[in-house]
Amino acid sequence: MHSDPESIRKHTKMYWMIGGALFVFTVVTVAVNQVHLAIPLAITVALIIAALKGSMVASIFMHLSAEKRWIYGALLLTLAFFIVLMSVPLFTTLDNIGTPTVSPHQSHAEPARH
Amino acid sequence: MNIPYTVEERPDTGLANGKLGIWLFLASEVMLFGALFSTYIILRVGAVEWPHGELNVWLGMANTFILIGSSVTMVMAWASLKMHDWGKHRLYLILTFVLAGVFLVNKYFEYSSHWSAGELPSKSTFLAIYFTLTGLHGLHIVGGMIVMAYFIGPGAKLWRANPDQFANRIEYTGLYWHFVDLVWIFLFPVLYLL
């Protein structure tokens, strides 16, 4: 990251522009929501815009676009654990242990034995 | 006793200790909020039905604008220091503090309208996760305000004694503040819109 006064002076205009872009993307997020898209599409669009906004904050305001490798290393490790954490709900829905494999239709077809 | 590497970079990491420290702290914060987001997904996927339109989108949107604005003023507070403009630094840091306060006032009105309508965390799973996520985020706002108040008040003396160290401290405060903004950028669509 550049920290001499002259290069920072050049960056200040970009900070305001990024702020403006974040405002516009927020309006777009709400506008898309007012259209009432199908839920999977609405979730996808909202999260893509949020990810775009988040990456702008991280790369420009937090200066991640020009950081040292130790910080990238720490964040890559965090990303790996974060992916595991976000996969937990997926594992939960895929987990069939303890649930009957017979469908409700089949169970109605077979009379109960006494 | 002098604490080493507060301004100069360590030869092994190429970073001042405070910088690596704040990023490691933010990494732990990612996992904290990540766990709650993961919980939200589990609860939402498992729910038979999920309430929609219970929150005031316009108030949430206003708070998004406020936090984005505060992120811009925070980065400008740091940039002004680097450009040796103390007056502008003070202006931008105080503006960031005020915007954070406005965010909390909005949140107070939002919370009180829910409470007066009997919409407590015990009423539904959605309200429970809403109050947990926004409450924890609100606590982070308060934490950031305490740090900013310190640098507006007694902590500002460091600028005269060691301007580089002071600029670094403002940079670390900024990193934390942008992270708080980043979390809200995801909270807003997830809770208010979807």
- pLDDT per residue as tens digits for the range A59-83: 999 999 888 899 999 999 999 999 9
A46 and A82 part of one domain: no
Mean predicted confidence (pLDDT) in B39-53: 84
> How far is the alpha carbon of B53 from chain A, nearest alpha carbon, in Å?
11
Same-domain check for residues A23 and A44:
yes
Together in a domain, A4 and A31? yes
**Residue A66: predicted pLDDT:** 86
What does CATH list as the number for B17-46+57-193? 1.20.120.80
Distance, CA of B118 to CA of B177 (rounded, Å)? 33
Q: B193 near A46, Cβ under 8 Å?
A: yes
User: What share of chain A has pLDDT > 70, as a percent?
Assistant: 79
Q: Is the per-residue pLDDT at B169 higher than 90?
A: yes
Same domain, A40 and A90: no
Considering the domain architecture, whether residues A21 and A75 belong to the same structural domain is answered as: no
A41 and A8 together in one domain: yes
- Band of residue A97 on the pLDDT scale cut at 50, 70, 90: low
Q: How many domains does chain A have?
A: 2
- A83 lies in some domain: yes
CB B183 within 8 A of CB B33: yes
Q: Over chain B, what is the mean pLDDT?
A: 93
pLDDT at A36 over 90: no
Q: Supply the pLDDT for residue B8.
A: 85
Same domain, yes or no: A3 and A27:
yes
Which chain A residues contact residue B64 at CB under 8 A?
26
- How much is the pLDDT for B9? 86
Q: Which tokens in the block code for residue A3?
A: 């920290």
pLDDT at B113: 94
Does A113 reside within a domain? no
> Is there a contact between B178 and A61 if contact means CB atoms under 8 Å apart?
yes
Confidence (pLDDT) at A49: 94
Measured between beta carbons, the chain B residues lying within 8 angstroms of A48 are: none
Query: Do A10 and A49 belong to one domain?
Result: yes
- Give the residue among A5, A34, A14 at the shortest CA–CA distance from B57: A34
- Domain carrying residue A83: 68-95
pLDDT for A86 beyond 90 = no
pLDDT over 60 at A104, yes or no: no
Confidence check: pLDDT of A8 > 90:
no
Mean pLDDT of A38-50: 86
Partner-chain contact B23 A12, CB within 8 Å: no
Contact indicator for A2, A8 with CB cutoff of 8 Å? yes
Question: Would you place residue A106 in the very low, low, confident or very high pLDDT band (cuts 50, 70, 90)?
Answer: low
Q: Answer yes or no: is pLDDT of B152 > 90.
A: yes
Contact B170, B178 (CB under 8 A): no
Residues A58 and A80 in one domain: no
User: Are residue A77 and residue A41 in the same domain, yes or no?
Assistant: no
Nearest to A46 among B68, B175, B189 (CB): B189
Kindly state whether residues A55 and A72 are assigned to the same domain.
no
**Cα–Cα distance, B149 to B92 (Å, whole number):** 13
Whether residue A42 and residue B193 make contact (CB cut-off 8 A), yes or no, is: yes
User: Residue B43: its pLDDT value, please?
Assistant: 86
Domain membership of residue A105 (yes or no) is no
Domain match, A47 and A73 both? no
Check residue A108 and give its pLDDT: 54
- Is position A14 within any domain? yes
A32 located within any domain: yes
Q: How far is A19 from chain B (nearest CA, A)?
A: 6
**Residue A47 reports pLDDT greater than 60:** yes
Quick one: average pLDDT of A46-66? 92
Q: What is the ipTM of this complex?
A: 0.90
**B36 pLDDT higher than 80:** yes
Determine which of A6, A14, A30 to mutate to test the interface with B (most B C-beta atoms within 10 Å).
A30
Contact (Cβ atoms closer than 8 angstroms) between residue B130 and residue B191 = yes
Q: Is residue A100 part of a domain?
A: no
Domain ranges of chain B: 17-46+57-193
Number of Cβ atoms within 10 Å of the Cβ of B192: 24
Q: Convert the pLDDT of each residue in A13-35 to its tens digit.
A: 999 999 999 999 999 999 988 88
Tokens 């927020």 correspond to what residue?
Answer: A26
Closest in B19, B30, B185 to A57, CB measured: B185
